[in-house]
Structure 1
Amino acid sequence: MENTAERSIQIAVIGDVHDQWEKEDNLALQQLGVDLALFVGDFGNESVEVVREISTLEVPFAAILGNHDAWYSASEWGRKKSPYDREIEDRVQQQLDLLGKAHVGYGKLEFPELGLSVVGGRPFSWGGSDWRNRDFYRDRYGINDFEESTARIVEVAKDAAHQTLIFLGHNGPSGLGDRAEDICGRDWGELGGDHGDLDFAGAIAQVLDLGKHIPLVTFGHMHHRLRHTREQLRTNICTTPQGTIYLNAAAVPRIIQIGGDVVRNFSLVSLQGGRVKTIDLIWIDENGTIHSSTPLYSG
């Protein structure tokens, strides 16, 4: 494993945005003084203006687009509901163009000053064991099934400049539990079942076998608030014997009002020596100060 000089690295992970992003969010990240920001996608239903605002961020960042970011483009159902003329506009491509190299879906971004690479899983994922939106993935990426998707992610990770990798996905990998309240568990319809991405899980396993070090895998999609009960929240942290921490950052809605204060959340991850030390869910008020903080992990 690379020597990251035991320095502490602060990473802000932004869960599903769903149109809740403002200039104040850009300012909050700058005031936090983080080294890196990671966006797990679902900026809105092809919300180009939200992505445009995020693209102006002065903090180094990486992002992956989610299923809502191709809401009117990925499926026949969505295309029928499109509020704009898709023969004239391609809002998926507009988002990709705005994000540029920061979009790591089926790609990577190197951060030599931090001694790590951020590798993206499959973009626009809906989760689950069915290969959805076949024509979309075929036409945009030349990917036809889970096996080809896994191979693409592994190929990218093998070429990463650093031994320490952070994996960024929209939906999490399979294999982390099949109860409705589990980190990627199905909490609608017939409750229970692992709704994680098979290709993401396969890629992570293969990359670990290659000897790469993966301290953090982070994603969203499966909201912390469960659909079938208000008695508990979804599990948002999983750990593995290999030392990999899995973080579901989808605390939705991410901007709320508490009393007279408008507060916005970020998951704040601290890495030291290439390992996750702490993760806290923090809420920032309009003055840029931490309104409240909930510890999620300490290692």
Structure 2
Amino acid sequence: MTEPLSTPTANSPSIKIAVIGDIHDAWDEEDPKALAQLGVDLVLFVGDFGNEAVEVVEAVSNLELPYAASFGNHDAWYTATPWGTKNCPYDRSKEDWVQQQLDLLADAHVGYSQRTFPRLDLSVVGGRPFSWGGPDWRCAGFYRDRFGVKDFEESTAQIAKAAAQAPSETIIFLGHNGPSGLGDQAEDPCGKDWKQLGGDFGDPDLRDAIATTRTTGKRVPLVTFGHMHHNLRHTKAVQRKRLCVDEAGTVYLNAACVPRIIKTEQGLQRNFSLVTLQDHQVTDVQLAWVDAGHHIASSETLYSKAAPPTEVIPTLVSSPSE
């Protein structure tokens, strides 16, 4: 029997969400302990666990906290492209590491699907799984064979359908890459930071699905993703813009802090993006580093409802002509 969704109240308790940026093999037995110490209610993984890193995904699948996950381009590194297939380190006639990862996460993988958390009164809807990002439809054979999707239009329909079927009126969108529409400068959340510099490298299908979902009256307080690393390729003088907010109040969070585990003089520290929701709205976002004792060693406030950002982007709208 499906657990009924809770009835929201004016003084509903806050929800703490940990967003795990691109892991790239940087996940160990201390991460679940740190998450438990942080007291989070929900964990979201944006993908890129490693290059089809089945062992990492298996470790993540054992997490005892509520969680949802997306897969990134590296999670199909040896499968989705001709180069990857040519350089595949395993016998593809005997093994399928992409399918193994999908099987391990099962319903926790929300790509083209949704997972509802009744006690939190929210649904997490996944964007296009294994996304490479950008305005061109890539890996056509992979998406056709694995998901029966042939272009951006069909991909948009899959994401929007998952959002429409979600029983909660509050939707968090989770993808590997973010949506188009967040800026076209190299330093923007999904900006192209390699030659030629500049250009919006977001996912058009995710943008259009978000816009479609808004027309149904559902709330979209948070869209979170990774893929485009905070450390830029063309300069070390600044980092990528990690967060922006649109006119509708939706927070767009790029959580791709790579590497997410670093060595300091005080020992290893690991990164988590911590998001607080209150009454179906994001009230606080922190980029936190957690020490070996599982305490926050340092943090940076990326967003606070008490001090709204001076720059607000237009609400995303669909562009079916692309």
Matched, 1:11 2:17: yes
Partner of residue 108, structure 1: 114
Give the Cα–Cα distance (whole angstroms) in 2 for the partners of residues 142 and 41 of structure 1.
21
Counterpart among 259, 275, 281 of residue 287 in structure 2: 281
Matched, 1:70 2:80: no
Partner of residue 156, structure 1: 162
Give the Cα–Cα distance (whole angstroms) in 1 for the partners of residues 168 and 107 of structure 2.
17
The percentage of counterpart residues that share the same residue type is 62
- 1:263-293 deviation line (CA, Å, top 9, x unaligned): 0000000000010000001111111111111
Give the Cα–Cα distance (whole angstroms) in 2 for the partners of residues 94 and 182 of structure 1.
34
Give the Cα–Cα distance (whole angstroms) in 2 for the partners of residues 4 and 234 of structure 1.
36
Identify unmatched segments of 5+ residues in structure 1.
none
Give the Cα–Cα distance (whole angstroms) in 2 for the partners of residues 285 and 93 of structure 1.
34
- 1:123-175 deviation line (CA, Å, top 9, x unaligned): 00000011000010000110000000001111111111010000000000001
Tell me which amino acid in the other structure corresponds to 2:142.
F
Matched, 1:48 2:54: yes
Identify unmatched segments of 5+ residues in structure 2.
1-6, 306-322
TM-score (norm 1): 0.98
Partner of residue 22, structure 1: 28
Tell me which amino acid in the other structure corresponds to 1:117.
S
Partner of residue 133, structure 1: 139
Tell me which amino acid in the other structure corresponds to 2:281.
R
Give the Cα–Cα distance (whole angstroms) in 1 for the partners of residues 165 and 81 of structure 2.
32
Shift of 1:6: 2.3
Give the Cα–Cα distance (whole angstroms) in 1 for the partners of residues 218 and 38 of structure 2.
30
Q: How large is the Cα RMSD of the aligned pairs?
A: 1.0
Task: Report runs of 4+ in structure 1 exceeding 6 Å deviation.
Answer: none
Partner of residue 264, structure 1: 270
Q: Tell me the number of residue pairs that the alignment of Structure 1 and Structure 2 aligns.
A: 299
The alignment partner of 2:120 has SS state of coil
Counterpart among 92, 95, 107 of residue 86 in structure 1: 92
Shift of 1:260: 3.1
Tell me which amino acid in the other structure corresponds to 2:203.
D
- 1:155-204 deviation line (CA, Å, top 9, x unaligned): 11111101000000000000110000001000011000000000000000
Matched, 1:226 2:232: yes
Tell me which amino acid in the other structure corresponds to 1:213.
R
Give the Cα–Cα distance (whole angstroms) in 1 for the partners of residues 160 and 233 of structure 2.
34
TM-score (norm 2): 0.91
